[in-house]
Chain A
């Protein structure tokens, strides 16, 4: 057995290496890349799709591994083989949260796969707040993180607004086009330098809201469908067979909780770990500071949305946390953990009664936090209409869409019944 020695990303590399980043949420990630560019990195977002990606993944990753790992690793290897990049001048970034789920093994799996594919020399940077490895050429400094946080906040806002406008827009595609304009503008703002004025950011929030409010829409009644689940298949069109597009085409309004919530969840777990596990007092203290700070940032954005008054504001994370009570413990934190349950409940309580719970086939935490919680959720909220969809290289779209159609048929029925009740009363 040779010892696993990882290839560090050196300061030398920073000069001329291209850093590849897999897409999960295009808008968020584009802005993050803008931030990286500020610091002199040549970063690029991988947006490849299609069977070649899956095939490469299946070839180099154990086929029973979770689907996101197969996709992301497949995307990397496919890119390295494509000839579009010089593999000797390329580095890869993979996001990592750690924890008891097998997803913590993505980095070792990627390295194993690279080695088998003959790319063992390509450095892999684990983008993790835990900071397990040292990469002299890639350090996450506070200013960098600060700027990225705004990329997330902007991204969540834009995603929410697109979702809220899209089903009603008079001309198809207007909302997304507007969002793309914003992504470019905000990205270059964030990429302009170190000084970020918070006042300017809050001003931007308002400008964004105003611009979306001006999109011509036809008000009609649309079924609202929430999407929750494992972080990658929930967001990534590559992972979920373009779920959002499918739902939009069916005339539904899609509601997807933001990415910042997942970050908050991770930080909050470090806060709570001390209480439920009995370890890590210092982590507890520092995490608590970070948590309060992030919550404040989110709340500021929500307040601006409320004041503007046109769109349904996001939910304060403190509210989301409360949802778990009576269903699942706050120490249940592997994978999406209690957040998944809480998000389903938050959706239900905010009037989004139809929910798609997405997971890679055989996702361990979701047996418990997703599928395992459906019975109690339905018992206490009989009007909730949840469907669980598994994603996998072998699962077919027909099968998935048929189940989604069942959920939508019931959703429309419930909506009609509700509006009939309103009329009679």
Chain B
């Protein structure tokens, strides 16, 4: 050591994340300054602002500096300041500060990172699909109408957790909104949001590595949210003291950057650093990827506003009116709308507001207001409610009738444009489009859960940039060069925006760009149109999002034509409901006193009716009436199911497979994981192995728990849910103590001679490779996954025998031969039974005047957790439900436009043809999120159906558990069929 103590080295670490800026100044190893602030995308300004506080501290000493963080890259490049990748920076600082750490979990605004230290350092970041984390929590707080702090506090008071999809904000919203609308406690929802983040982090990043030992939690969200910490510690079952939330958690990256800067050898003075930061990126990047402005000049803008002023409804002053009136309520996903109309359809009263996560209270207040204003002068003769909260509101306030949203919107649109042939409605969370032919809804398209970059996105975005929605939209009108943001989902848009900010885009250009991408998303992703001609001649656009002129203009520009936007674009559902309720003469709607005395309590329970264990929400009203929601079937309602005898092929197949029981045999237990291809071949393998003297153990039908059991070993978080749930089935079989598990690799599926080829999809064919490589627990059993040829007895015998004789030397070729024979017999019987049952079901439907629904997908979509009980819902709605593989034999195989090379899909095309050829048959296609192959099949199935004027309905399913959206979709279908007038029902 030197005698003369020089002052210790001075270093500045700057960490610019997606939402916050963090600055740390180190002197030696001591932190002498730290600051954490949101930057509202003003990255450069915020950094300089923070640094200005450091001036005195630093003086004229020389210092080293480095920038880190995803939003800091551009700034660092332009300024010529060293950049260090943030995960790397974290790893370095933790290694020096807390060398005994085994795992670091860091959540940022949009990134999640995990670093494993023990047994080979491994640094991981979430993939591009994993969605936000901090941003996700922010979004959810907005949805709950809470600040992040309030949400955190509430979450600590929770009593129970709801399953919420955490893949991205959009999915989660689909889960949360109905929960709120049905009256779930905010505290429970808040805690569930945190749990979703935890699950996402674990499945997305741990990927099979166990999170144990000393775990350090870093980053803003984990620093601020106590509830989130709690969920992490509990889920990971970390013992006391092993879950560490250090004080410097928010600053780890900035500290790492400061440390790193000492290795770079570049020194700055304070002034030098600031001057460097002033350098902006080259202007070149600006010009790329921009769009035309929304308006060429002021004149064009004036014409536009004039034209749209014309589509208005006359309003009357409610205080001057007396006579009869009708009320429409639209209880939507994020907003509640009410409209009161007069005898001649003029508007007396309107209300439009966010429902603040509690629609019941909002509606009650408004009804009191309306009743008060009406007094004795105005008599409300009828009322109708539509939207997500339809049944709850109808029950709570004795509204005369409920109607499905699509019908409400069509009723309203017709009022403005009697010849309307196309309606596009973009709401807070939904995009709905319908084509109208001959006065009836001809086809309906709704956005799938994944592509809903809708209104609420603009709202959240405007807020995050510090603007109100209206101001933000107004800015967009005058953007000179709108940013091209792509048409992917919300999360991707977020990062597109980030990138454009890096390139220096203005708020105006971003706002305009967002409007354009929302429009493109609707036209190309939801409607799947490639030109304006395909939409229609008389287009009405509506929904709250179209009140945004920028969106309206972007839409007209994109289709190259003019459309009608009613002045009450945001109220069309409610207006339509009001028009619809005019068929009533006398209303049952709750009176003023009743409303004042109205008390509403909600509590939660778990239905014990069956193994689904639905989470019920029981709403109790003051007069003792009850309204129960969350149930997948009617048992939860305390009613005996009256649908027991209605054929449901999904149910039939489930029972068929569940009845395959093993019997003890000389060769021990062999397990079949009931997922993916096993759903098709279980009868074959069951008979075959039973014949060979194995006790066959088939894992149970999935529940959410099954998924959770296996979620730790999933390496690819964008794979489909039916694949990911496989991991849970494997774990279950291992727990059940089987000696071996069998999931063969089968490239070619059964050849039913109905297509160009007969492949399995890559996931069904080869998932066992992935299981073998990623599930450590598999070493506890023998895993048998031979390549098999299942297209002939000989082929199967030849390919199966080597594997089996290696497993058990005593198994002879002759035995395998006999077993294969049994296996094929059982499989053929299964297929025959299913097809016979399908034909019986159709006969039953025709004899009893019922509609038939082909609930089509893959064999594994019958799983109650994957299919979410949609089959039961369809039965409840009055359909006889058959599966694609029970009716495909009824249509001749025909050449398809696409390459028809997968067995399961060939069945799908034939089933679609059967539906196309029969008036009383509808087809609803179940599509798992992430199924690449269905990007091809859906268009083809739609074409087959629409060629004969049939509706095409697609339901995208993932981990989502709430059936609200599905119910609306199926009811829309029914409504549309009824309007078409084709069916008795």
Main secondary structure of the interface of A (DSSP, over half): helix
**In the assembled complex, B604 has its CB within 8 A of some CB on chain A:** no
Instruction: List residues of chain A with CB within 8 A of the CB of B869.
Output: none
Which of A101, A361, A367, A394 touches B496 (beta carbons < 8 Å)?
A394
Instruction: Annotate A55-99 by CB proximity to B: 1 below 8 A, 0 otherwise.
Output: 000111011111000000000000000000000000000000001
| Chain A residues positioned under 8 Å from B524 (CB to CB) | 58-59, 63
- Give the chain B neighbours of A40 by CB distance below 8 A: none
CB of A327 within 8 Å of the partner chain: yes
Which residues of B are found within 8 Å of A116, using beta-carbon distances? 530-531
Q: Is B706 at the interface (CB under 8 A from chain A)?
A: no
Contact B715 A396 (CB under 8 A): no
Cβ proximity bits A271-291 to B, threshold 8 Å, 1 near / 0 not: 000001111000000000000
Known: A117-B530, A394-B487. A364 touches B936 (CB 8 A): no
Q: Which residues of B contact A406 (CB under 8 A)?
A: 85, 87-88, 123, 125
Taking the closest CB of chain B, its distance from the CB of A7, in whole angstroms, is 14
Q: In this complex, what residue of B is CB-closest to A402?
A: B70
Which chain A residues border B489 with CB–CB below 8 Å? 394
B894 CB contacts on chain A under 8 angstroms: 1
CB neighbors of B among A311-341 (8 A): 327-329, 331-335
Complex Cα gap A112–B528 (Å): 13
List, in ascending order, chain A residues with CB within 8 A of B492's CB: 392, 394-396
A361 B528 Cβ-Cβ under 8 A: no
Pick the most buried of A64, A65, A376: most chain B CB atoms within 10 A of its CB.
A64
A382 to B767, CA, bound (A): 24
Q: Which residues of A contact B86 (CB under 8 A)?
A: 402
Q: Is B542 engaged at the interface, CB distance under 8 Å to the other chain?
A: no
**Does the CB pair B125–A361 fall under 8 Å?**
no
Point out the residues of chain B lying under 8 angstroms from A329, CB to CB: 745, 766, 769, 787
Asked if B353 lies at the interface with its beta carbon under 8 angstroms from chain A, I say no
Residue of A nearest to B492 (CB): A394
Closest A residue by C-beta to B91: A410
Q: Is the CB of B795 within 8 A of A278?
A: yes
* Cβ-neighbour of B773 out of A65, A276, A361, A373 (below 8 A): A373
- Bound Cα distance A332, B121 (Å): 30
Given the known inter-chain contacts A3-B895, A372-B769, please indicate yes or no for A100 contacting B125, CB distance below 8 A.
no
B718 interface residue (CB < 8 Å to A): yes
Task: Tell me the residues in window 356-402 of chain A with beta carbons closer than 8 Å to chain B beta carbons.
Answer: 361-369, 371-376, 378, 382, 388, 390, 392-402
A216 CB-CB contact with B under 8 Å: no
The reply to whether A105 and B899 form a contact with Cβ atoms under 8 Å apart is yes
What is the distance, in angstroms, from B748's C-beta to the closest C-beta of chain A?
6
**CB pair B123 A372 closer than 8 Å:** no
Q: Is there an interface contact between A392 and B897, defined as CB atoms closer than 8 Å?
A: no
- Asked whether any CB of chain A lies closer than 8 Å to the CB of B619, the reply is no
Take A278-B789, A375-B715 as given contacts and tell me if A62 and B938 are in contact as well, using a CB distance cutoff of 8 Å: yes
Contacting chain A: which of B356-364, B391-399, B754-762, B872-880? B754-762
Q: Flag whether B901 is at the interface (Cβ < 8 A).
A: yes
By the criterion CB–CB under 8 Å, are B88 and A327 in contact?
A: no
Q: How far is the CA of A279 from the CA of B787 in the complex (A)?
A: 12
Q: Across the interface, do B899 and A100 meet the contact criterion of CB distance under 8 Å?
A: no
Which listed residue (B488, B530, B719, B745) contacts A59, Cβ 8 A? B530
Contact, CB under 8 Å: A361 / B129: yes
Taken together as a complex, chains A and B put the C-alpha atoms of A335 and B762 apart, in Å, by 8
Measured CA separation A134–B406 after assembly (Å) = 48
A102 at the interface (CB under 8 A from B): yes
A309 at interface by CB-CB < 8 Å: no
Whole-angstrom CA separation of A382 from B930 in the bound complex: 31
Q: CA–CA, A386 to B495, complex, Å?
A: 23
| A: interface residue count bin | 35 or more
**Which residues of the partner chain A approach B121 to less than 8 Å between Cβ atoms?**
410
Choice from A63, A111, A399 contacting B128 with Cβ under 8 Å:
A399
**Given A331-B787, A399-B128, A402-B85, does the pair A51, B484 have CB atoms closer than 8 Å?**
yes
Closest partner residue, chain B, to A111 (CB atom): B897
Of B502, B530, B747, B896, which one neighbours A398 at CB under 8 angstroms?
B502
Interface residue ranges of B195-249 to A (CB < 8 Å): 207-209
Q: Which one of B43-51, B98-106, B831-839, B939-947 is at the A interface?
A: B939-947
The answer to whether B978 has its CB under 8 Å from any CB of chain A is no
Residues of B within 8 A of A396 (CB): 492, 495-496, 498-499
List residues of chain B with CB within 8 A of the CB of A63: 451, 487-488, 524-525, 935
Assess the A375–B499 pair: CB atoms within 8 A.
no
Let me know if A4 is at the binding interface, CB within 8 A: yes
Q: In whole angstroms, what is the CA distance A355 to B281 when docked?
A: 30
Closest-CB distance, B839 to chain A (whole angstroms): 24
For the complex, is B42 an interface residue (Cβ under 8 Å from A)? no
Q: Is the CB of B943 within 8 A of A62?
A: no
Q: Is the CB of B715 within 8 A of A398?
A: no
- Is A345's beta carbon under 8 Å from chain B? no
Q: How far does the alpha carbon of A376 sit from the alpha carbon of B495 in the complex, in Å? A: 31
| Contact A102 B770, CB 8 Å, known A334-B762, A392-B128, A406-B85 | no
Given the interface contacts A64-B932, A102-B932, A107-B899, does A364 sit within 8 Å of B763 by beta carbon? yes
Chain B, residue nearest A331 (CB): B787
Contact A331 B484 (CB under 8 A): no
On whether the beta carbons of B488 and A100 are closer than 8 Å, the reply is: no
Query: A409 at interface (Cβ–Cβ under 8 A)?
Result: yes
Closest A residue, CB atoms, query B119: A382
Contact: A4 with B897, CB < 8 Å? yes
Question: Are B747 and A331 in contact, with the CB atoms below 8 A?
Answer: yes
- Interface residues in B762-813 by Cβ distance below 8 A to A read 762-763, 765-767, 769-770, 773-774, 787, 789, 791, 795, 798-799
Beyond A112-B897, A278-B799, whether A66 also contacts B715 by CB under 8 A is no
Interface check A109, CB cutoff 8 A: yes
A contact residues around B207 at 8 Å (CB): 374-375
In the bound complex, do residue B936 and residue A105 qualify as a contact, i.e. CB atoms below 8 Å apart?
A: yes
Q: Quote the shortest CB–CB distance from B592 to chain A (angstroms).
A: 51
- The complex places the Cα of A117 from the Cα of B528 at a distance, in Å, of 13
A139 within 8 A of partner (CB)? no
- Contact B762–A100 (Cβ < 8 Å): yes
Best-buried of B208, B897, B934 by chain A (most CB within 10 Å): B897
Task: Determine the distance from Cα of A403 to Cα of B894 in the docked complex, in whole angstroms.
Answer: 47
Q: Does B919 contact A (CB under 8 A)?
A: no
By a CB distance below 8 angstroms, the chain B residues around A395 are: 128, 488, 492, 495
- B594 CB–A CB distance under 8 Å: no
Q: State how many angstroms separate the Cβ of B718 from the closest Cβ of chain A.
A: 6
Quick one: which of B524, B789, B943 has the most chain A CB within 10 A? B524
Minimal Cβ-Cβ distance residue in B for A118: B531
Give CA–CA (A105, B940) in the complex, Å. 12
Give the shortest distance, in Å, between A112 (CB) and chain B (any CB).
6
| Contact, CB under 8 Å: A64 / B85 | no
Q: Which single residue of chain A is at the shortest CB-CB distance from B523?
A: A59
CB pair A375 B773 closer than 8 Å: yes
Does A211 sit within 8 A of B, measured CB to CB?
no
Q: Is the CB of A66 within 8 A of B932?
A: yes
Show 25 A/B contacts (Cβ-Cβ < 8 Å), sorted by A. A51-B289, A58-B524, A59-B524, A60-B530, A63-B451, A63-B487, A63-B488, A64-B932, A100-B901, A276-B747, A328-B769, A334-B766, A364-B762, A364-B932, A372-B774, A373-B770, A375-B715, A390-B127, A396-B499, A398-B502, A399-B70, A400-B128, A402-B70, A409-B88, A413-B88
Q: A62-B528, A63-B525 are in contact. List 18 more A-B contacts (CB 8 A).
A: A1-B947, A58-B520, A62-B936, A65-B935, A100-B759, A107-B899, A108-B898, A112-B939, A334-B765, A361-B129, A363-B932, A373-B770, A392-B128, A393-B487, A393-B488, A394-B493, A402-B73, A410-B121
Q: Which residues of B contact A (CB under 8 A)?
A: 70, 73-74, 83-88, 119-123, 125, 127-129, 207-209, 289, 451, 484, 486-489, 492-493, 495-496, 498-499, 502, 520, 524-525, 528, 530-531, 715-716, 718-719, 723, 745, 747-748, 759-763, 765-767, 769-770, 773-774, 787, 789, 791, 795, 798-799, 894-899, 901-902, 930, 932-936, 938-939, 943-944, 947
**Shortest 8 CB-CB distances between A and B: which pairs?**
A394-B488, A372-B770, A394-B492, A100-B759, A64-B935, A409-B88, A278-B789, A382-B120
